[in-house]
Amino acid sequence: MAHNERVFSGMQPTGSLHLGNYLGAMLQWIEWQKTRECIYCVVDLHAITVWQDPKELRTATRLVAASYIASGLDPKKSILFNQSQVTAHAELAWIFNCVARLGWLNRMTQFKEKAGKDREKASVGLYAYPNLMAADILAYHATHVPVGEDQKQHIELARDIAQKFNSDFKDSIVAHGHDDGVFFPLPEPVITGPATRVMSLRDGTKKMSKSDPSDLSRINLTDDAETIARKIRKAKTDPDALPSEPAGLKERPEAQNLVGIYAALTGKAVEDALGDVGGLAFSEFKARLADAAVAALEPVGAEIRRMMAEPDEIDRILIDGGTRARAVADPVMKQVREIIGFIGA
Ligand code: TYM
């Protein structure tokens, strides 16, 4: 049975969203919403793989939901909810813990980065996190997953899990009416945002990230115009002027990153962007970049602040989304239980 196209993606409520989330994923989400059935999630179960203060978690969950809406997500059209409301995620994640192999998880680069040197002290949840991510996607039989470059490996794992489940339970899947033996679709990563890997403003070799201790390393969607301009002024650069051709950005990670951001914000290809700014000194280029960033982000930040003043309204939207998400995931989970052989499914 061919699966209908359905989009699923999520972001962690572990602080304000930043320019990397926006250019790498969010803008694609908004594009997909125009033509497809989309489910967008604030992944609070993922967030608690590292310690979260309960009060801050609630605020961060609202902040991320407000950021989605301020960026253009329409909660009437798409389903917008926080993950913990739908128990299917945790239940299917457990089942996938029993499908995925240790060797597969041992290869996940993000766990190695996040756990750091003292791996023994990392939570079991941080290690099993990719199985939960596979469950997020597959509980809805989602087929397309718009994300930034850093999530590619996790989605490939979700495909492996879907495939192994389909093959382990093939006979049962057929017996339950799926004649082609395919229960879970193999989800596709969609990595086509205007900038799929935005780097830190302080170090062009490191990804822009919510967990970087330096706030100067990232532009948050909630930053005001002055803060955005200051962070760009302080961004690390090299001593040379900007090249006129993309080839001239090689071995210049900071220049490459800032030009990539400028191109993404102005909706241009890097080549065309360099047509505008090639030959400029960084000081002049940074002023243009700041203008472009403020023009794109200031209205988003203002809308986030407006929404955060009405937390009950955000909660109402999330709870409504939770009901709609359960209506999609519950029938899938009922079939999963039957296929596995659980009584009382
Ligand atoms: P998270 O919360 O780290 O990031 C959310 C989205 O933003 C993208 N992203 C970036 N893109 C470009 N440059 C960057 N510097 C950058 N930083 C982050 C991420 O690729 C992601 O698309 N595990 C996921 C959340 C998740 C999920 C899912 C995603 C949980 N379940 C199911 C898709 C489907 C995460 O931690 O993303």
**Cα 202 from Cα 215, distance rounded (Å):** 10
Position 168 scores a pLDDT of 98
Q: According to the model, what pLDDT value does residue 246 have? A: 96
Nearest to 220 by CA among 4, 25, 5, 20: 20
Task: Choose which residue among 6, 9, 11 to substitute to test ligand 1 binding: the one with the highest number of ligand atoms within 8 A of its C-beta.
Answer: 11
Q: What's the gap in Å between 204 CA and the centre of ligand 1?
A: 19
Residue from 6, 23, 96, 151 whose mutation best tests the ligand 1 pocket (most atoms within 8 A of CB): 151
pLDDT of residue 3: 80
CA distance 39 to 27: 15
> Which residue ranges in the chain fall short of pLDDT 70?
1-2
Q: 114: Cβ below 6 Å to ligand 1?
A: no
The tokens for 186 are: 């193999």
148 in contact with ligand 1, CB cutoff 6 A? yes
Closest among 61, 52, 55 to 16, alpha carbons compared: 61
Q: In this predicted structure, what is the pLDDT of residue 214?
A: 96
207 is catalytic: yes
User: Cα(206) to centroid of ligand 1, in Å?
Assistant: 15
| Prediction pTM value | 0.97
**Residue 8 CB less than 6 A away from ligand 1:** yes
d(CA 308, CA 314): 8
Asked if 243 and 233 touch (Cβ cutoff 8 Å), the reply is: no
Long-range contacts of 322-329 (CB under 8 A, 24+ apart): 322/81, 322/82, 322/85, 322/86, 324/79, 324/81, 325/39, 325/41, 325/79, 325/81, 325/85, 325/86, 325/140, 326/85, 326/86, 326/88, 328/39, 328/79, 328/140, 329/86, 329/88, 329/89, 329/139, 329/140
Residue nearest to atom 33 of ligand 1 (CA): 9
Catalytic-role residue among 34, 112, 121, 207: 207
Task: Compute the distance from residue 92 Cα to the ligand 1 centre, in Å.
Answer: 20
Is 76 a catalytic site residue? Answer: no
Nearest to 18 by CA among 195, 208, 197, 190: 208
> Measured between alpha carbons, how far is 290 from 300 in angstroms, rounded to an integer?
15
| Atom 20, ligand 1: residue with shortest CA distance | 148
| Cα 193 from Cα 195, distance rounded (Å) | 5
pLDDT computed for residue 345 by the predictor? 84
